[in-house]
Amino acid sequence: MITVALPKGALLKDSVTRFAAAGLDFSAITNPNNRQLMLPSACGKARALLVRNGDVPVYVAYGQAQLGVVGYDVLQEQQRSVAQLLDLGFGGCRMAVAVKENSPYRRAADLPAHCRVASKFTRCASEYFQKLDLPIDLIHLTGSVELGPLTGISEAIVDLVATGRTLKDNGLIAIEDLFFSTARLVAHPLSMRLDNGELQDLVDAIATKNPDNQ
Ligand SMILES: Nc1ncnc2c1ncn2[C@@H]1O[C@H](COP(=O)(O)OP(=O)(O)OP(=O)(O)O)[C@@H](O)[C@H]1O
Ligand SMILES: O=P(O)(O)OC[C@H]1O[C@H](OP(=O)(O)OP(=O)(O)O)[C@H](O)[C@@H]1O
């Protein structure tokens, strides 16, 4: 039986839609009254694990799920051994450096050496500033990162921006982008190698049967 790790939160609805188009109906997982974390598909041929977005690569890397859906940002941050099979197109956002609107900084390289940068994505942030050859003091936060410059805990943040509304409503501006992110279909590499065709057929159906293109 194929097990799929689906992310709670922003990517769940579109993930369920894409699997449904490919023949696996996990819609029961989106029922607000549902508290079951492991659910069979309507046909009974597969099952879904409902996990935190950040835990999808963990279940897939360990092989407890053969497939998963997760944001590219999380894959960049975690660097786990999972195979990226498809760009699913939804969940578009960018990873950006942001500062207070009224700060003098307009490029990441303008930030003073050893300034504090808050982020949930500390590996991405660290690699980015290393490439700029700018030493920074990273502060790891797990959410509401925009509060960093507002409270003064940090001069800048590295965080996801989609509509830009959260930045605007908190008096911040993005000054540089690290990368663009969308949801990805990932797989356990060994499961793909040992596949008898069933997994590949599902991946092909997800790739070709996109309701947004029909
Ligand atoms: N505002 C947004 N608009 C569109 N996509 C977003 C937005 N914020 C995040 N995403 C994408 O959706 C993914 C899931 O975000 P979501 O907020 O549901 O999870 P999370 O709470 O950040 O994750 P975790 O459960 O690991 O803490 C992100 O990794 C990113 O790829
Ligand atoms: O540009 P916008 O459309 O306003 O979206 C960006 C916000 O969305 C994400 O936060 P999320 O809602 O996941 O909450 P979090 O701060 O707890 O991560 C991200 O971390 C930003 O805060």
- Domain residue ranges in the chain: 2-91+182-213, 93-181
Cα–Cα distance measured from residue 87 to residue 66, given in angstroms and rounded to the nearest whole number: 17
Q: Which are the contacts of 138, defined by CB distance < 8 A and separation ≥ 6?
A: 116, 117, 118, 119, 122, 125, 126
Atom of ligand 1 nearest to the CA of 8: 18
What pLDDT score was predicted for residue 214?
67
Written out in words, the top-level CATH class of the domain with range 2-91+182-213 is: alpha beta
Classified as helix, coil or strand, 130 is helix
Q: Each residue of 126-161: pLDDT tens digit?
A: 999 999 999 999 999 999 999 999 999 999 999 999
Report ipTM (2 d.p.).
0.95
- CATH for 93-181 (3.40.50.2300, 1.25.40.80, 3.40.190.10, 3.90.550.10): 3.40.190.10
Cα–Cα distance measured from residue 53 to residue 62, given in angstroms and rounded to the nearest whole number: 16
Atom of ligand 1 nearest to the CA of 53: 26
Atom of ligand 1 nearest to the CA of 54: 26
Cα–Cα distance measured from residue 69 to residue 65, given in angstroms and rounded to the nearest whole number: 11
Strands 183-187 and 83-87 turn out to be antiparallel
Q: What is the mean pLDDT of the chain?
A: 96
Ligand nearest to the CA of 92: 1
pLDDT band at 73 (very low <50, low <70, confident <90, very high): very high
Element (H, E) at 20: helix 12-21
Report H helices in 84-197.
122-131, 147-151, 165-169, 189-194
Distance 9 CA to ligand 1 centre (A): 7
Provide mean pLDDT across the span 107-114.
96
Pick the residue whose CA is nearest to atom 20 on ligand 2.
160
Strands 137-140 and 116-119 turn out to be parallel
Distance 9 CA to ligand 2 centre (A): 11
Ligand nearest to the CA of 7: 1
Equal fold, 2-91+182-213 vs 93-181: yes
Pocket of ligand 2 (CB under 6 A): 143-146, 159-166
Q: Which are the contacts of 173, defined by CB distance < 8 A and separation ≥ 6?
A: 98, 99, 100, 101, 167
Q: pTM here? A: 0.96
Pick the residue whose CA is nearest to atom 5 on ligand 1.
91
